[in-house]
Amino acid sequence: MDFFAILAQAAEDTTREAGKGGIVPLDLIWEHITTLGLVEALTFISFGTVCLFYGWRVFKILVTISFALLGLLLGVWANKQLIGGNVIWLGLISAALFAFMSIPLMRWGVTLLGAAAGGVLTGGGWLAMGLPERYIWAGALVGVVAGAMISFIVFKIAVMLFTSLGGSGLVTVGVLAVLYKYMGAAEKLHDLVYDKKWFLPALLLGPMAIGIILQNKFIKSAKDWTV
């Protein structure tokens, strides 16, 4: 009975979350979309397309870049906590260290990124189905566990998961930025992003699924590809 009571209460709270600002940072996402320039948007679309369809060819570079960015963020945060100010030398050192460490730990890095991609996949599906946003972590956790397990068993799945997710994210942001600034769809896009919970997950997961299918096909036909 307690389980059903929790679900009932969560369903009632769903409508309140839209007004209070839910877990998903829509304002931050919308800010990135609306501030992206044309050249940046086209670059996002171009690079995202490469990642989406041919990420399996450049996944090692993508892993190194991803961990360098993670190191940069952690370094900047640590710099602010320990030293303060706008000096970013600690962030640069941390970025270089993480990038260097990702090379010998490539398989572990791919596994972690595959697990994260699995979490985004199931979390996005949870949101798209209209389930309570406050419990999106539950849906994401299932994807993280499943993605990590699958990545340990079949390495190429982890490669396809995180490269397709990254490519889809870049393409989605780039296309939305172009539509917002140059296609006269600003008001319509704003309403879709904020009022339709399924809109962003559908835009992200649709190309991601296509990328996974095509990458799997390309990998099978590429006999020289090794991990």
Q: What is the pLDDT of residues 90-112, one digit of tens each?
A: 888 888 999 999 889 888 888 88
pLDDT of 3 over the 70 cut: no
- The residue type of 4 is F
- Count CB neighbours of 106 within 10 A: 16
> Across all residues in the chain, what is the average pLDDT?
81
pTM of the model: 0.76
pLDDT of 85 over the 70 cut: no
Query: Quick one: average pLDDT of 23-51?
Result: 86
CA distance 111 to 207: 21
Query: Quick one: average pLDDT of 195-206?
Result: 86
User: Treating both helix axes as pointing N-terminal to C-terminal, what angle do 155-182 and 199-221 enclose, rounded to 10 degrees?
Assistant: 130
pLDDT band at 17 (very low <50, low <70, confident <90, very high): very low
Tell me what pLDDT residue 37 has.
86
Percentage, residues of the chain above pLDDT 90? 13
DSSP string, 198-217: THHHHHHHHHHHHHHHHHHH
Tokens of 216: 């799997």
DSSP 8-state symbol, 95: H
pLDDT band at 87 (very low <50, low <70, confident <90, very high): low
Query: Quick one: average pLDDT of 125-141?
Result: 81
